[in-house]
Each structure stands twice: as C-alpha cells, then as structure tokens.
Amino acid sequence: MDDTLLTLLQKVDTPTVCNAIEVAQGKRGFNAFTRGTMLASHPDGPAMVGYARTAKIAAVAPPDEPPETIKARRMDYYRHMAEGPRPAITVVEDIDFPHCIGAYWGEINTTVHKGFGVCGALTNGVMRDLGDLPDNFPVVAGSIGPSHGFVHVKEIGMPVTVFGLTVADGDLVHADRHGALVIPPEVLANLESAIRKLLETEQLVLEPARKDGFDFDAFEAAWAAFEAART
C-alpha cells in the first residue's frame, strides 16, 4: 500500500471503501465486513487504516493458568503489538462475547498502543474512559462498560472474529463508526482509481438531487447517467 492510497483511505468512510472494492472487483457480493451495530469512541474522527495485529482475550472468569504464564503472555502480547508492519490496527476478539464485561480498552491501554505506533483498535469487546482516551487513537468496540473484570490475554497472532468479520494477523483493515472491513490484497492496485471513480459517479445523482426544483424527470435523467457511468 503506497502513501497516496493510504492518505485517500484515511479520508473516506468505510461504506465508501466497501462500495469501491466492488467497483474494483467488477461485481457485487463483497462480504468481508462486520455485521451489526458497533460503537465508536470518536464517531466524528477519521477512519483508521492499518495491518491487523490480532489477539484474543477473556474477562468474565479469572484465568485458570499459573500467574507466571499469564504475565509472560501479556508481555508477548505487547511485544507483538509493538512489532510488525505499519500502519497497524490492533484487532482483539473477546471470547466472552456476547457477554463481555472486561473493558480492555481504557485510558492506559489505548495510550500504550498509540505509543507503539498503532493507529486504533477494533474489538467485539468493551471500552471505557471515553473522556480520557488519547486523540488520534479511535476504538471501534462492541460495548461500553465501567470494569476490566478479570481481563487477560488468551491467544496472540491467530485469526479472530469480530462481529462476523474474520481477520487474520496482517490483513489490511479499514474501520470507522460504521464498522470494519478487510481489504482484499488483489484489489489494492486498482483501489485508488475505484474510489475516485465511485466518488465521481455518485455526484451524477447527488448534485441534481441537491438543487432546487429536483423532480422525477431530473432524477430519471440523473439515474440514467449514473448507471451508464457504472458500466
């Protein structure tokens, strides 16, 4: 992914990228996206784009492994998050879902990850400290809650599933207040042009619809131009 594409992806929302992937693929049916309503810590902020650094956590029950094992895995987790390609997004599956209680993403953990150069977090789990999360580190989560419970890391670097979306370590993820998606590697070469084409063709309908006097005849003409531009 070159810098021009990265900058463009950071400027557009996730629905736009979802549509643009279908433009690049030349067909409908792209389905590597989250299902259901997620919550965004910074709903008015820009999208986060990066290569996934994955892990699984749990928090409802205390860990049943020795404390030294849990501590060692925690350090392995942070080492994993501090390494790897950039930009990066941490993608964490809470295996307690849908009964998650442990707010893994609070002021301390988000600040640590931001310090590592990670640009945001995607999780089906819980976030908290909403007024104290650092700027430019968005969290897209399944819920909001006050407690960390018995939160502990279970696995590191394996495929995870968040709201129906399976993400492998290293996948390129785009996420915002609408949810998240995985960008297929095969569309990267054409994705910038697909996004620009999509934005341009959308204006064939949006511009007339925003003008005074817009009626069905104007819509019919605009829609015909829109469909012709998409083929």
The pLDDT tens digits of the residues spanning 169-205 come to: 999 999 999 999 999 999 999 999 999 999 999 999 9
Question: Tens digit of pLDDT for each residue in 31-67?
Answer: 999 999 999 999 999 999 999 999 999 999 999 999 9
What CATH code is carried by the domain that includes residue 169?
Answer: 3.50.30.40
> Does residue 21 sit within a domain?
no
CA distances for 194 relative to 3, 47, 147, angstroms: 16, 18, 43
Question: Residue 217: what pLDDT?
Answer: 96
Domain limits for position 92:
31-183
177 and 193 assigned to the same domain:
no
Residue 216 is inside which H or E element, if any? helix 216-230
Query: Are 111 and 215 contained in the same domain?
Result: no
Residue 24 in any domain: the answer is no
Residues 177 and 213 in one domain: no
User: What are 156's strand-pairing partners?
Assistant: 55
Residues 123 and 196 in one domain: no
Q: Is 44 a member of any domain?
A: yes
Q: Which residues of 193-210 are buried (b: 16+ CB within 10 A; e: fewer)?
A: ebbebbeebeebbeebee
pLDDT at 20 over 90: yes
Question: In this structure, are 174 and 194 located in the same domain?
Answer: no
Q: What is the pLDDT of residue 65?
A: 96
Whether 71 and 175 map to the same domain: the answer is yes
| Average pLDDT of every residue of the chain | 96
The answer on 168 and 201 residing in a single domain is: no
Is the pTM value of this prediction over 0.85?
Answer: yes
Do 88 and 117 fall within a single domain? yes
What local confidence, expressed as pLDDT, does residue 1 receive? Answer: 83
pLDDT recorded at residue 231: 59
**Alpha-carbon span 83 to 107, nearest angstrom:** 21
Residue 96 lies in a domain: yes
140-159 pLDDT, tens per residue?
999 999 999 999 999 999 99
Where in the chain does DSSP place strands (E)? 39-40, 48-58, 88-94, 103-105, 118-123, 126-127, 139-141, 143-144, 152-156, 160-162, 165-167, 172-176, 179-183
